[in-house]
Amino acid sequence: GENVEQHPSTLSVQEGDSAVIKCTYSDSASNYFPWYKQELGKRPQLIIDIRSNVGEKKDQRIAVTLNKTAKHFSLHITETQPEDSAVYFCAASGYSTLTFGKGTMLLVSP
Amino acid sequence: DARVTQTPRDKVTEMGQEVTMRCQPILGHNTVFWYRQTMMQGLELLAYFRNRAPLDDSGMPKDRFSAEMPDATLATLKIQPSEPRDSAVYFCASGSGTGNTEAFFGQGTRLTVV
**Residue B86 CB neighbour total at 10 angstroms:** 20
Q: Going by C-beta distance under 8 Å and a sequence separation of 6 or more, which residues neighbour residue B22?
A: B6, B7, B74, B75, B76
> What value does the mean pLDDT take over residues B48-72?
91
Question: Computed over its alpha carbons, how large is the radius of gyration of chain B?
Answer: 13
Chain A hits for B29, CB-CB cut-off 8 Å, are: none
> Which residue among A32, A96, A101 places its CB closest to the CB of B55?
A96
> What value does the mean pLDDT take over residues B20-36?
95
pLDDT at B1: 67
Q: How confident is the model at residue B99 (pLDDT cuts 50, 70, 90)?
A: low
3-state secondary structure of A15: coil
Please give chain A's pLDDT, 110 residues, in tens: 889 999 999 999 999 999 999 999 999 989 999 999 999 999 999 999 998 877 899 999 999 999 999 999 999 999 999 999 999 999 998 767 889 999 999 999 99
Chain B hits for A86, CB-CB cut-off 8 Å, are: none
> Which residue among A32, A89, A100 places its CB closest to the CB of B100?
A32
3-state secondary structure of B20: strand
**Residue B41 CB neighbour total at 10 angstroms:** 10
Q: Going by C-beta distance under 8 Å and a sequence separation of 6 or more, which residues neighbour residue A98?
A: A34, A91, A92, B33, B45, B93, B99, B100, B103
